[in-house]
Amino acid sequence: MDFQELVKQRRAIRDFEAKDVSTEILKEMVDDAIMAPNASHKQPWKFVIVNNQEMMKRISDDSKNTIIAGIEKNPNSPMKGYAAMLKDENFNVFYNAPALICVVAKIKGALNGVDCALAASYLMFSAASKGLGTCWVAQGAEVREEGLLKELGIPEGYKIYAPIIVGYPKAIPAAPERKPVDILTVID
């Protein structure tokens, strides 16, 4: 698949076939992710592979609780519009995908978020090249329960920057329309 085709194939996928993804493939995606460019070549990223829907539901529930608590504390929260959806106990932020890869790094580190986003981008293109679908689900990054963080192997002082769900897509939708390209200046 050439790059233009890959760019088309990589869409946010939220509807998956009831088909498992092998942990081996998820590991191959991580091998591709670490080829991403990164600041000062510090490679701050670590990865948590969750190929288990029960654990994903626990992550979804804890993350939802964190976001709901934030909305209740701050009525002007930008997440306010999502409150009803998040309070619905049947709503799984991970859309019942079969697998999840979290890109994790130290909270401290000015460029860690950028590096993790780049790794996540490579992860998503890697998946698309293998016929898999992904979606970055920021709503699944807000895990706070200490026991759960421990089970996930996320050390203190680290956080999930990019939770990427993975599965075989039921369909690949057309790309949502983009705003017109806005090149401020071309100097040549």
Q: DSSP label at 165? A: E
- The rounded distance, in Å, linking the Cα atoms of 138 and 83 is 15
Site string for ligand FMN, 10-49 (x = CB under 6 A): -xx-x-----------------------------------
* Residue count (the chain): 188
* Contact between 63 and ligand FMN per CB under 6 A: no
* Contact between 176 and ligand FMN per CB under 6 A: yes
Residue carrying the six token digits 């890869």: 101
Q: Which stretch binds ligand FMN (CB under 6 A): 6-14, 17-25, 52-60, 66-74?
A: 6-14
Query: Minimum distance between the CB of residue 139 and ligand FMN, rounded to whole angstroms?
Result: 4
* Contact between 106 and ligand FMN per CB under 6 A: no
- The rounded distance, in Å, linking the Cα atoms of 155 and 176 is 37
* Contact between 164 and ligand FMN per CB under 6 A: no
Site string for ligand FMN, 112-151 (x = CB under 6 A): -----------------------xxxxx------------
The C-alpha angle with vertex 175 and arms to 121 and 161, in degrees rounded to 5, equals 25
Give residues with Cβ within 8 angstroms of 124, minimum separation 6: 10, 134, 136, 164
- The rounded distance, in Å, linking the Cα atoms of 62 and 142 is 7
Contact indicator for 118, 43 with CB cutoff of 8 Å: no
Nearer to ligand FMN, 82 or 130 (CB): 82
* Contact between 172 and ligand FMN per CB under 6 A: no
Binding site for ligand FMN (CB under 6 A): 11-12, 14, 135-139, 175-176
